[in-house]
Each structure stands twice: as structure tokens, then as C-alpha cells.
């Protein structure tokens, strides 16, 4: 027992260094606690107060800006209840008690999950028609303040402008179609007049002149009249390909391909698949003019040795393929917008096809030739292949 008392007395003796360690540690802990409660904690508390004060000032400032904003602004809580509005929103919903209203009563076309939008800081957009006006609606959630702001912008005039632009586009398309129709009608009229009236008159005049006695002058006149008549026929054919009306599309295109091949020395191939039937006048003329323009481009630009024209009369549509083995179309041609800046040839072909609800596609690689693929809607039936080749 005496030994235990001695050990205890020795342990708590100031001669024991452990006692000094405990005392020193206790002093350090006391100093740390003193610094924390007297310095750190008051500073943290002051920081929180200043932060809250800044947030309150910011909220008041934002509320002031919102109140002065010309665009309607509404603030809602998690349940969709309106908690704040500005002057513009109160004017927009004049006659409605907004403070006792929920947002789903105002924005009928917009599906809003207020709690999800606020908690996840989501942003959604929609369009609303209110009082005969169209508004762009943006809803932004704010989880920090536990509310969502609804910003509304009047875009009625913008929508009216868009409608006007679309209306003008439709009118321009109809105008272009009307002008195209009138132009072709005028060409048909001139063609008919030249062929049926002037041509017949010149033939009668020629017969009368044959009865003259002065042979030399008569032959000169007859030769001159022959030239006039041939010129009239050329003009007539240029204005309106009579072969289409008289013989149909197949033989008109076949004749065109043969003429181009014979005159140019370029080997041409013509293929027709499908029923030989009379089609809509606009479709036949569109096909003929596009083939005609394509062959002109081949003669002028391609340096081709061969070309081919295929007309496929399917049940639902017409497919036209014009191809050559020439040098192809330069890459810079396709860099111009809608082919407008480089030239009007292909652009005019494209417009003519699209006016009939068709599609127009160009496949070309430098040095690899060119293919133009046209598809026009119609009805028909596919039959065996009929191919004609024209050599040099």
C-alpha cells in the first residue's frame, strides 16, 4: 500500500516531466478555444450576416429592376403559387387577382412542374397566346431562393413578320409559276402562228411565184422564200418543240438526242423505260427543257466523248438521268449559294423541277463526268427497255 502511495505521489510530483506535458497541452487547448470563440467565430458570424445582407440587397435590387422592366415577369414558388409580379404582368393579366392565382391558370399551353424546375435549376421555354398576342415564355428555377422566375416577351410582330415572309414566298412561287405558264403559252401561240399561218402563207406565195415567166428572178425569189420558210421552222421549233405535241415525249427526246449527236459528233445514247403515254403538258415540257439545257451544257463545257439520256416512266414517278464522260463540274461551282452566283443554267433547271414538286440532284467529280438525276411525281407502269444508239 505504501508503494502505491509513493508511485502516485511521484507521478503527480513537479519533478515528473509528464505533468508539464499535460499542463502545456491544456494551455494550448485553452488558447485555441479562446481564439476560436473570441476571433474566428465572431468573424464567421459577421461574414454570414454580411452575406445575408448582400443577398437581401441583391434580391431587392433585382425586384426593383423587375418592377421597372417593360416585359412581364412573374415569380412563383414550388407549388406554382404566384408570389411576386411586376407592373407589366399586372397590366397583361388585368382583372385577375394574381396573388391568389396559380401559374397554370395563366399559362394554359405550358406544362410546368414547379417543384422540379426549382430544385434542379431548370430552364424551359414555350409559346403562349394571351390577349391576342404571342409571348415567348422562359421559366428559370432558382434552388438557392426556392422560387422560379417567368420571363415573358411579346413576339407578336416577329411572328407576323415570319408569316408575311412565308406568304411572300408562296406568292413569289405562284407568280413564278404563273409567269412560266404564261411564257410557255405565249411560246405555243407564237409557234402556232409561225408554223400554221406564216408558213402556209409563204408556201402559197411560193406556188404563185412558180407561175411567173421570168425564170432568173423567179428562182432568186424562190430561194429567198425557201430560206425564210426554213428560218421560220427553226424559230418555231426553238419556241415550242412540236414533236412533243405531235409525237409525244419519247420521240421528241429521241429526236433531240439524235440531232445533238449528229451535229456535234459526240456519241449519244437514248433509253426509254416504261409505257409510252401522254403525260401532263407541264411535266413533258419540263423534262424536254431540262434535257435540252443539259445537252447544251455538255456541248459547251464537258469535252465529253459520249453522253446518255435515260427516261424511266415508273408507276409513281418519272426518273430522268442525263450523264456524260466529260471533265465534270468544277468544285467552286457548288460553293455558290443555290447555284445562283456561278450561273443560272442549272439553277433554272432545278427551279423548274421543284415547281412541279420534283427533286433535282447533280453528281459530278472533276475528270469523272457528270450525271443529273431528276425525279418528278406521276403515275405509270414499267415495261421492257428500249435503247437507241447514235454513233458519229
The residue to which cell 430544385 is assigned:
119
Residue 198, domain member (yes or no):
yes
370 forms beta bridges with 324, 364
> Do both 258 and 357 map to the same domain?
yes
> Do both 322 and 350 map to the same domain?
yes
Question: What's 190's DSSP letter?
Answer: H
Query: How far is residue 82's CA from residue 281's CA, in Å, rounded to a whole number?
Result: 65
16, 35, 142, 190 from 23: Cα distances, Å? 12, 18, 53, 123
> Do both 225 and 103 map to the same domain?
no
Residue 62, domain member (yes or no):
no
CB 266 within 8 A of CB 389: no
Per-residue pLDDT tens over the stretch 82-125: 888 888 888 888 888 888 888 988 888 888 899 999 999 999 99
Residue 63, domain member (yes or no):
no
Return the CATH number at 272. 3.30.565.10
- Residue 311's pLDDT is 93
Specify the higher pLDDT residue, 151 or 343. Answer: 151
Asked whether the CA dihedral 6, 12, 13, 17 is positive or negative, the reply is positive
For residue 321, the enclosing domain spans: 246-390
Q: How confident is the model at residue 360 (pLDDT cuts 50, 70, 90)?
A: very high
> Do both 173 and 135 map to the same domain?
no
Query: How far is residue 124's CA from residue 224's CA, in Å, rounded to a whole number?
Result: 81
In this prediction the pTM is: 0.46
Q: How confident is the model at residue 322 (pLDDT cuts 50, 70, 90)?
A: very high
Tell me which range, 48-52, 94-98, 154-158, 226-230, is most confidently predicted by mean pLDDT: 154-158
> Do both 121 and 197 map to the same domain?
no
CB 142 within 8 A of CB 150: no
> Do both 250 and 220 map to the same domain?
no
Q: Provide the number of structural domains found in the chain.
A: 4
Per-residue pLDDT tens over the stretch 274-287: 888 888 888 888 89
Residue 58, domain member (yes or no):
no
> Do both 262 and 377 map to the same domain?
yes
Q: How confident is the model at residue 321 (pLDDT cuts 50, 70, 90)?
A: very high
Asked whether the CA dihedral 133, 138, 139, 144 is positive or negative, the reply is negative
**DSSP labels, 306-322:** EEEEEEEE-SSEEEEEE
Q: Report the percentage of the chain scoring pLDDT > 90.
A: 17
| CA-based nearest residue to 270, from 256, 287, 285 | 256
> Do both 10 and 105 map to the same domain?
no
> Do both 184 and 282 map to the same domain?
no
Q: How confident is the model at residue 247 (pLDDT cuts 50, 70, 90)?
A: confident
Q: Which of 192, 219, 240 corresponds to the end of one domain?
A: 240
**Does the pLDDT at position 340 exceed 60?**
no
Q: How confident is the model at residue 385 (pLDDT cuts 50, 70, 90)?
A: very low
- Residue 382's pLDDT is 40
- Residue 18's pLDDT is 62
CB 232 within 8 A of CB 194: yes
Residue 295, domain member (yes or no):
yes
Residue 57, domain member (yes or no):
no
Q: Which of 138, 154, 170 corresponds to the end of one domain?
A: 154
Q: Quote the mean pLDDT of the chain.
A: 78
Residue 210, domain member (yes or no):
yes
Q: Which of 154, 181, 215 corresponds to the end of one domain?
A: 154
Beta strands of 245-369 (E only): which ranges? 267-274, 306-313, 317-324, 359-364
Residue 61, domain member (yes or no):
no
> Do both 314 and 355 map to the same domain?
yes
- Residue 138 has phi, psi (to 5 degrees) of -120, 125
> Do both 251 and 338 map to the same domain?
yes
> Do both 250 and 363 map to the same domain?
yes
Query: How far is residue 104's CA from residue 139's CA, in Å, rounded to a whole number?
Result: 13
CB 334 within 8 A of CB 324: no
Amino acid at each position: 500500500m505504501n508503494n502505491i502511495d509513493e508511485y502516485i505521489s511521484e507521478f503527480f510530483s513537479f519533478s515528473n516531466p509528464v505533468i508539464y506535458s499535460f499542463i502545456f497541452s491544456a494551455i494550448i487547448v485553452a488558447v485555441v478555444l479562446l481564439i476560436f470563440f473570441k476571433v474566428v467565430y465572431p468573424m464567421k458570424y459577421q461574414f454570414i450576416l454580411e452575406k445575408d445582407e448582400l443577398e437581401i440587397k441583391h434580391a431587392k435590387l433585382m425586384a426593383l429592376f423587375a418592377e421597372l422592366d417593360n416585359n412581364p415577369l412573374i415569380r412563383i414558388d414550388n407549388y406554382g403559387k404566384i408570389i411576386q409580379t411586376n407592373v407589366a404582368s399586372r397590366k397583361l393579366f388585368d382583372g385577375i387577382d394574381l396573388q391568389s392565382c396559380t401559374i397554370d391558370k395563366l399559362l394554359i399551353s405550358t406544362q410546368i412542374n414547379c417543384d422540379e424546375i426549382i430544385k434542379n435549376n431548370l430552364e424551359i421555354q414555350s409559346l403562349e397566346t394571351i390577349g391576342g398576342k404571342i409571348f415567348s415564355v422562359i421559366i428559370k428555377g432558382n434552388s438557392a431562393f426556392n422560387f422560379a422566375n417567368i420571363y415573358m416577351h411579346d413576339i407578336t410582330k416577329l411572328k407576323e413578320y415570319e408569316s408575311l415572309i412565308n406568304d411572300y414566298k408562296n406568292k413569289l412561287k405562284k407568280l413564278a409559276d404563273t409567269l412560266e405558264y404564261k411564257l410557255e403559252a405565249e411560246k405555243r401561240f407564237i409557234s402556232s402562228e409561225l408554223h400554221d399561218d406564216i408558213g402556209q402563207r409563204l408556201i402559197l406565195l411560193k406556188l404563185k411565184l412558180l407561175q411567173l415567166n421570168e425564170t432568173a428572178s423567179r428562182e432568186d425569189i424562190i430561194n429567198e422564200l425557201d430560206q425564210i420558210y426554213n428560218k421560220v421552222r427553226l424559230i418555231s421549233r426553238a419556241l415550242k418543240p412540236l414533236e412533243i405535241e405531235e409525237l409525244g415525249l419519247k420521240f421528241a427526246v429521241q429526236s433531240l438526242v439524235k440531232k445533238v449527236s449528229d451535229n456535234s459528233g459526240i456519241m449519244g445514247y437514248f433509253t426509254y423505260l416504261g409505257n409510252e403515254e401522254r403525260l401532263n403538258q407541264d411535266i413533258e415540257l419540263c423534262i424536254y427543257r431540262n434535257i435540252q439545257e443539259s445537252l447544251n451544257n455538255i456541248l459547251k463545257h464537258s469535252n465529253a466523248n459520249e453522253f446518255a439520256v435515260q427516261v424511266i416512266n415508273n408507276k409513281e414517278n418519272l426518273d430522268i438521268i442525263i450523264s456524260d464522260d466529260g471533265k465534270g463540274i468544277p468544285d467552286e461551282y457548288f460553293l455558290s449559294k443555290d447555284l445562283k452566283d456561278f450561273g443560272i443554267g442549272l439553277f433554272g433547271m432545278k427551279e423548274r423541277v421543284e415547281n412541279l414538286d420534283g427533286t433535282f440532284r447533280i453528281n459530278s467529280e472533276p475528270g469523272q463526268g457528270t450525271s443529273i438525276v431528276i425525279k418528278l411525281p406521276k403515275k405509270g407502269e414499267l415495261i421492257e427497255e428500249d435503247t437507241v444508239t447514235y454513233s458519229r
